[in-house]
Amino acid sequence: MTVNAAPGRRRFLRGLGACLALPVLASLLPSGAEGGPDEKPRRLLHYYVPNGFNMGAWGAITATLAGKELTSQPSLPRFLAPLSDAGKGHDFRKKLLVLSGLDNAPGNYRPEDKDSNGAHFQQTASFLTGTHVDSSPFSVAKSIDQVVAESFGYVTPHRSLQLGLHPGSNGNCSGNWPCAYLGFVSWADAQTPLAQLSDPYEMFTTLFASNATGVSAAELARRKARKLRVLDVVGKDAKTLHGKLGTSDRAKLEQYLTAVDEAELKASAMSAAGTCEVSGFSSGNWTYPEKVDLMADLMALAFKCDLTRVITFMRQAGGASFPGAYDWVEHEGKKLMESKHTYSHWSAPLASEPGTLQERQAAYLAKLEAINTWELERFAYLLGKLDAYVEPDGKTLLDQCVVVFGSELGEPDKHLANDLPIIVAGSGGGAFITGKHVIFNSGVPVGQTKPDTLADFHITVATQLGVSMKTHADGKKFGEDGTKVLPGLGT
């Protein structure tokens, strides 16, 4: 049998140039081993959605949940309801932190800025960096995901993964504003946005069809031409290993291999489908929502077999959102025929819409909330995938993760990065106290600087994951206004 162990007791199945990392299997641990850092890793995933939320609906959510345990409600209100939909097996109330009241002041326009037309660029670039940007000179800062990835080191084949459903681009997108500000949230340093894997089949090939030591493009082409899937080429190893495992580990291995095979079938079918370009997107036989879910499948698998411990996922670029109709979302039985960006500017609805100005504004807000609900449904799908994997200690994969869901905007109509709704799923191996809603900066007057910031939240996440935040020369720990760990979140 060629089940190989790498540093940290990692195990792989091999065959014909393929290398498939295995999840932790208790049967393969040394006698008496209780596990260790490599068996119970903590993981961080940022799940970014563009263009903010219906903040009137969020205010209603805050009012309902204020000071209460999430499980005290029969269901979470408004567009958070998909996270407590027990009928679909997705009741995550005990595993959630819902946060309100945090500002990302560096994302807002300032009077001294050279160009006042770059709101989306500024807010997107600052979301994970806590750093204000102007149209020139080109400069951001290292993002919090990369601070964590740097601390975790190269204990996995990929120190971090940057994923999205758009590739991102360089150059200028609007006037002097760099496209990179809009297209990336993950930054290695002030000058270097990190490229995203945007094609699901490319992501599958990167993670599973090749390996850390590398497989030649010619070998991958031969396997594809012969229609050999990953399980075809590691099947002999898998069969041998199966006979050496205990009953529970056999079931776990079968579940994992089935998930890998299903993901490959979906990804390869998407790649092979005939495509046509629609507003810059390759549609083929797959819908945009199906691609979102396939990326969720692959992210869960990447964490499952410990290929990385840090992932950043941009569902779409900041501001631009999906450039066409959100026609997979319905409101009052009708498909939405404009983009989220259009609906997010609810105070100035299109004149072609029916009704009075007030009626059109109300309709836009309702449609924005319908999109927010769809976004949380897809987030719940990802959490369900993570929660379905059970670790050797009985905890789920989600329990070992910190999954942060959020957007660069709170109130999108005014382009404000204030009062950002943030949702945290998973406790990071017990690092966070979940199952509650926390309101920050309560009572701070509008327009006054808030003491608790989004950058403080980033510091809190990193610290609770065991990262030592180095103090900057100006005495601050992260970004422009990150100075401390927020109270009431960690254990």
Asked if the structure places residue 303 within a domain, the reply is no
Residue 168: pLDDT band (50, 70, 90) is confident
Asked if the structure places residue 8 within a domain, the reply is yes
Other CB atoms closer than 10 Å to residue 136's CB: what's the count?
Answer: 12
Domain co-membership, 191 together with 222: no
Q: How many residues does the chain have?
A: 491
pLDDT at 241 over 70: no
Condensed to tens digits (0 to 9), the pLDDT of residues 296-333 reads: 998 998 898 788 999 999 999 998 777 789 999 999 99
pLDDT confidence of residue 6: 38
User: For residues 122 and 176, what is the distance between their CA atoms, to the nearest angstrom?
Assistant: 12
Asked if the structure places residue 47 within a domain, the reply is yes
Higher pLDDT: 236 or 37? It is 236
Residue 220: pLDDT band (50, 70, 90) is very low
Domain co-membership, 236 together with 128: no
Asked if the structure places residue 169 within a domain, the reply is yes
What's the CA angle centered on 48, arms 46 and 51, to 5 degrees? 160
Domain co-membership, 324 together with 272: no
- Which of the listed residues 254, 287, 320 is the one where a domain comes to its end? 287
pLDDT at 293 over 70: yes
**R_g over Cα of the chain:** 23
Domain co-membership, 168 together with 314: yes
Higher pLDDT: 167 or 129? It is 129
pLDDT confidence of residue 286: 72
pLDDT at 110 over 50: yes
pLDDT confidence of residue 256: 65
Say how many domains are in the chain: 2
Residue 203: pLDDT band (50, 70, 90) is confident
Residue 181: pLDDT band (50, 70, 90) is very high
Domain co-membership, 426 together with 340: yes
pLDDT confidence of residue 475: 74
pLDDT at 260 over 80: no
Find all residues with CB under 8 Å of 50, minimum gap 6, and list them.
124, 315, 316, 317, 318, 319, 320, 321, 340, 341, 407, 408
* Owning domain of residue 73: 41-198+308-464
pLDDT confidence of residue 94: 96
Find all residues with CB under 8 Å of 98, minimum gap 6, and list them.
61, 65, 70, 80, 421, 422, 423, 424, 436, 437, 438
Asked if the structure places residue 480 within a domain, the reply is no
Domain co-membership, 28 together with 136: no
Q: Which of 11-15, 222-226, 255-259, 304-308 has the highest mean pLDDT?
A: 304-308
Domain co-membership, 339 together with 434: yes
Q: How large is the average pLDDT for residues 204-210? A: 68
CATH of residue 441's domain is 3.40.720
- Which of the listed residues 222, 255, 287 is the one where a domain comes to its end? 287
pLDDT confidence of residue 85: 87
Asked if the structure places residue 469 within a domain, the reply is no
Whether the Cβ atoms of residue 270 and residue 200 lie closer than 8 Å to each other: yes
Domain co-membership, 327 together with 364: yes
Domain co-membership, 365 together with 273: no
Domain co-membership, 280 together with 255: yes
pLDDT confidence of residue 244: 67
pLDDT at 381 over 90: yes
User: For residues 18 and 222, what is the distance between their CA atoms, to the nearest angstrom?
Assistant: 12
Q: How large is the average pLDDT for residues 242-251? A: 69
pLDDT at 233 over 70: no
Condensed to tens digits (0 to 9), the pLDDT of residues 439-489 reads: 999 888 877 889 999 999 999 999 999 998 877 666 778 999 999 999 999
Written in H, E and C, the secondary structure of the chain is CCCEEECCCEEEEEECCEEEECCCCHHHCCCCCCCCCCCCCCEEEEEECCCCCCHHHHHHHHHHHCCCEHHHCCCCCHHHHHHEEHHHCEECHHHEEEEEEEECHHHCCCCCCCCCCCHHHHHHHHCCCCCCCCCCCCCCCCCHHHHHHHHHCCCCCCCCEEEECCCCCCCEEECCEEHHHHHCCCEEECCEECCCECCHHHHHHHHHHCCCCCCCHHHHHHHHHCCCCHHHHHHHHHHHHHCCCCHHHHHHHHHHHHHHHHHHHHHHHHHHCCCCEECCEECCCCCHHHHHHHHHHHHHHHHHCCCCCEEEEECCCCCCCCCCCCCCCEECCEECCCCHHHHHCCCCCCCCCCCCHHHHHHHHHHHHHHHHHHHHHHHHHHHHHHHHCECCCCCECHHHEEEEEECCCCCHHHCCCCCEEEEEECCCCCCECCCEEEECCCCCCCCCCCCCEHHHHHHHHHHHCCCCCCCCCCCCCECCCECCCCCCCEC
pLDDT at 67 over 90: no
Other CB atoms closer than 10 Å to residue 246's CB: what's the count?
Answer: 11
Condensed to tens digits (0 to 9), the pLDDT of residues 8-38 reads: 444 555 544 455 556 656 555 544 433 344 4
pLDDT at 176 over 50: yes
Residue 171: pLDDT band (50, 70, 90) is confident
User: For residues 229 and 139, what is the distance between their CA atoms, to the nearest angstrom?
Assistant: 43
Domain co-membership, 48 together with 29: no
Asked if the structure places residue 482 within a domain, the reply is no
Asked if the structure places residue 413 within a domain, the reply is yes
Domain co-membership, 45 together with 57: yes
Q: How large is the average pLDDT for residues 415-444? A: 94
pLDDT at 278 over 80: no
- Which of the listed residues 229, 256, 287 is the one where a domain comes to its end? 287
Mean pLDDT of the chain: 81
pLDDT confidence of residue 201: 75
